Amino acid sequence: MIRSVLLLCILVLAGCDFKEREKATSANSEFVETELAPADSLGIPVYKFDELEPLLNKKDDKIYIINFWATWCAPCIKELPYFEKINREGEAHNWKVILVSLDMPSMWKTKLIPFIKNKNLKAEVVVLDDPDQNSWIPKIDKDWSGAIPATLIYSRNKRKFYEQTFTYDMLNKELQEFQN
């Protein structure tokens, strides 16, 4: 019986297309099999760092809250409702929330876009697709280890970086300091 099962397995494997076997045995098969969404089909901007950088350095009268997050980051997901609440309050306080997703391209179509829709995110969401983290992380903050969630809050006159999670009260307190 065992020989019959073994023989059947060998015949099935031998009959498989080589590429299919490679996919099935690859440690990264979830990434190999995922269809990548073209950036222009997502409905949200996808930037390299040099294209994102102007959003991190505006000189108008607003306070900007730039949150770096990903759908695979549990602490990021936990704090998103606080950023959404702050975003809803933004017009009255002259601030703007921008959520910068660091999700991998293989996740945009299958994870990121459904997440944005399911959570009904209203804050502006952009994707940072720049694999040269060693170059752009220190440009955001020289002390940033690269861990997320991370948040940059800035205005024309003040800039502060936070490598931490936020509660609504903590975030609101920081924003009050920017308004004074």
- 104-139 tens-digit pLDDT: 999 999 999 999 999 999 999 999 999 999 999 999
Give the integer Cα–Cα distance in Å for 173 and 167.
10
The domain over range 39-179 is classified in CATH as 3.30.420.40: no
Question: How big is the chain, counted in residues?
Answer: 180
> pTM of the predicted model, to two decimals?
0.78
Strand partners, 148: none
> pLDDT at position 180, please?
74
> pLDDT at position 31, please?
35
Would you kindly state where each structural domain of the chain is located, as residue ranges?
A: 2-33, 39-179
Residues in the chain with pLDDT < 70?
A: 1-42
Q: What angle do CA 89, 124, 86 make, to 5 degrees?
A: 20
DSSP character at residue 123: S
> pLDDT at position 91, please?
85
> pLDDT at position 35, please?
45
Give the integer Cα–Cα distance in Å for 68 and 149.
6
> pLDDT at position 42, please?
67
